[in-house]
């Protein structure tokens, strides 16, 4: 049993009595009296449950002890070390929300966000592998798969097989539902033809969630989600050479007369668009977590160096101009973290979180770019070299404004909510 699974079984949630206000019979109209009510007290956004705190400590140790020594080599070779993948599974980090009966930790969505954040402080490439596998792939199985599909695939996804989410195509990026991959029904199954582009985890994955249309004339109502196993004919047409997150595989996939059984439809035929829309909201919170972890990682690597390097007889970090920059970036990272945690908690509470997810992703990606860029400058010439690893954070940060919904798409989403709230005509 993984450390995370053991932790989820032994840790108890923290409950705090709440002091609630009730009307008073006093003559003063606005006066209130207080009475004690035994229910959970509202807390600050960064207050975590006991098991979430334990998870953060465990992931931090794993990232620092196991991932950190391999980061530079993986980046330069543009390949994920198999021992890292093995470690993610052994630590229970590849089925965080999956029920224990299927080998998962049965923990909270916020726990997944915490793990993604902590991994990103050391290597955003490892973080996004964990992110996509948890917030997109495993969540789709959790929410939309049949019991038979869950029994078949979730134990594989929690024990050793990587999952991949296949939506984007050469002609459908931000316009995700313009996809052209076709699925034709036959007497004994489905035949899939088409290609997918920019697919994360695809080089290592063995289980693919593929979105295809069963009838182009139906528009988005023809889009359906299928589970396809690698051995059923998924082909890697091209592995991309990228600016950042190089150890994370991003590939173009080909599906040439790929035959799958009838029971490999996830959800209902024609409901794939609904699955994609709902699941990408969760994925965007995951990307926000990756970006705040990245920003914190760059900050934590660069700032200590400024107190070691001296100019004009004193540490450069003690100069007022530097201190002002530290304060600004630290505040931005904290603000991004609170936006992200708020979106995660709203999701757990069953509240709408589409706007909050968009805000978190957009702002966190902006902060990641600013923080990592500033971190290079704070370290001076050393920060520009690959030896320190600081410049890698900046390279990795650019993708945050692009994948799982570009910054413009996030801003458009936020603006629609603003218009709905304020436009009364």
What does the pLDDT read at residue 68? 98
Give the chain's mean pLDDT. Answer: 92
pLDDT at 247 over 50: yes
Cα 378 versus chain centre, distance: 28
Q: For residue 7, what pLDDT is reported?
A: 57
What pLDDT is stored for residue 43 in this prediction?
80
Residue 414 has pLDDT above 60, yes or no: yes
Ranges of H-type helices in 243-387? 272-306, 320-348, 354-378, 381-384
What does the block give as tokens for 390? 């600081």
Question: Is a pLDDT exceeding 90 seen at residue 172?
Answer: no
For the annotated catalytic residues, the residue numbers are: 404
What integer pLDDT is reported at residue 31 of this predicted model?
39
CB 169 within 8 A of CB 237: no
pLDDT at residue number 40? 59
Task: Fill in the DSSP letter of residue 187.
Answer: S
Average pLDDT over residues 384-406: 97
Per DSSP, what are the bridge partners of residue 195? 254
Cα separation, 135 vs 287, whole angstroms? 10
pLDDT given at position 15: 33
Q: What pTM was estimated for this model as a whole? A: 0.91
**Per-residue pLDDT reduced to its tens digit, 352-372:** 999 999 999 999 999 999 999
pLDDT mean over 289-312: 97
Percent of the chain clearing pLDDT 70 (strictly above): 90
User: Among residues of the chain, what percentage have pLDDT more than 90?
Assistant: 86
Task: Count CB atoms within 10 A of the CB of residue 129.
Answer: 28
Decide if 284 contacts 274 (C-beta within 8 A).
no
* Exposure letters 222-245 (e unless 16+ CB within 10 A, then b): bbbbbbbbbeeebeeeeeeebebb
Question: Average pLDDT for residues 391-417, to the nearest whole number?
Answer: 97
Mean pLDDT within 82-99: 98
Give the pLDDT score at 46. Answer: 80
pLDDT for the residue numbered 25: 42
In this prediction, residue 171 has a pLDDT band, given cuts at 50, 70 and 90, of confident
Judge whether residue 177 has pLDDT over 80.
Answer: no
For residue 293, the model assigns a pLDDT of: 98
CA distance 265 to 140: 12
Average pLDDT in the 93-119 region? 98
Arithmetic mean of pLDDT, 284-299 = 98
pLDDT digits (tens, 9 = 90+) for 5-56: 665 555 544 333 333 443 444 433 333 444 434 455 778 888 899 999 999 9
Q: Judge whether 75 and 24 are in contact, CB under 8 Å.
A: no
Q: How many CB atoms lie within 10 A of CB 278?
A: 14
Per-residue DSSP letter, 202: T
Does the pLDDT of residue 188 top 80, yes or no? yes
Burial of 291 (0-12, 13-18, 19+ CB in 10 A): buried
Q: Are strands 207-213 and 163-166 parallel, antiparallel or unpaired?
A: parallel
């Amino acid at each position: 049993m993984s450390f995370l699974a053991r932790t989820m079984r032994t840790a108890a949630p923290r409950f705090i009595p709440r002091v609630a206000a009730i009307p008073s019979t006093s003559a003063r109209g606005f006066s209130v009296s207080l009475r004690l009510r035994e229910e959970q007290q509202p807390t600050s956004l960064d207050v975590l449950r006991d098991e979430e705190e334990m998870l953060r400590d465990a992931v931090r140790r794993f990232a620092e002890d196991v991932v950190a020594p391999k980061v530079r080599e993986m980046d330069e070779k543009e390949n994920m070390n198999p021992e890292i993948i093995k470690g993610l599974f052994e630590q229970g980090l590849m089925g965080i929300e999956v029920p224990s009966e299927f080998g998962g930790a049965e923990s909270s969505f916020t726990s997944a966000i915490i793990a993604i954040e902590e991994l990103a402080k050391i290597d955003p490439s490892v973080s996004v592998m964990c992110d996509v596998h948890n917030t997109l792939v495993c969540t789709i199985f959790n929410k939309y798969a049949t019991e038979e599909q869950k029994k078949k695939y979730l134990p594989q996804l929690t024990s050793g097989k990587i999952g991949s989410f296949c939506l984007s195509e050469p002609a459908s990026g931000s316009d995700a539902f313009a996809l052209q991959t076709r699925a034709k029904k036959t007497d004994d199954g489905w035949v899939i033809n088409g290609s997918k582009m920019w697919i994360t985890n695809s080089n290592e994955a063995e289980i693919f969630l593929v979105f295809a249309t069963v009838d182009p004339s139906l528009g988005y109502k023809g889009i359906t989600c299928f589970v396809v196993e690698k051995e059923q004919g998924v082909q890697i047409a091209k592995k991309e050479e990228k600016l950042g997150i190089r150890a994370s595989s991003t590939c173009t996939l080909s599906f040439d007369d790929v035959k799958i059984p009838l029971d490999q439809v996830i959800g209902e035929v024609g409901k794939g668009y609904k699955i994609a829309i709902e699941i990408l909201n969760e994925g965007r919170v995951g990307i926000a977590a990756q970006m705040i972890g990245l920003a914190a990682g760059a900050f934590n690597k660069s700032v200590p160096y400024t107190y070691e390097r001296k100019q004009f007889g004193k540490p450069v970090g003690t100069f007022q101009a530097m201190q002002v920059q530290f304060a600004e970036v630290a505040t931005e990272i904290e603000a991004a973290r609170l936006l992200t945690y708020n979106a995660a908690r709203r999701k757990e509470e069953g509240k709408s979180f589409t706007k909050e997810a968009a805000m978190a992703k957009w702002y966190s990606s902006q902060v990641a770019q600013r923080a990592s860029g500033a971190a290079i400058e704070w370290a001076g010439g050393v920060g520009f070299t690959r030896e320190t690893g600081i410049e890698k954070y900046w390279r990795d940060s650019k993708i945050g404004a692009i994948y799982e919904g570009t910054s413009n798409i996030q801003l458009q989403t936020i603006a629609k909510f603003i218009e709905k709230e304020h436009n009364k005509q």
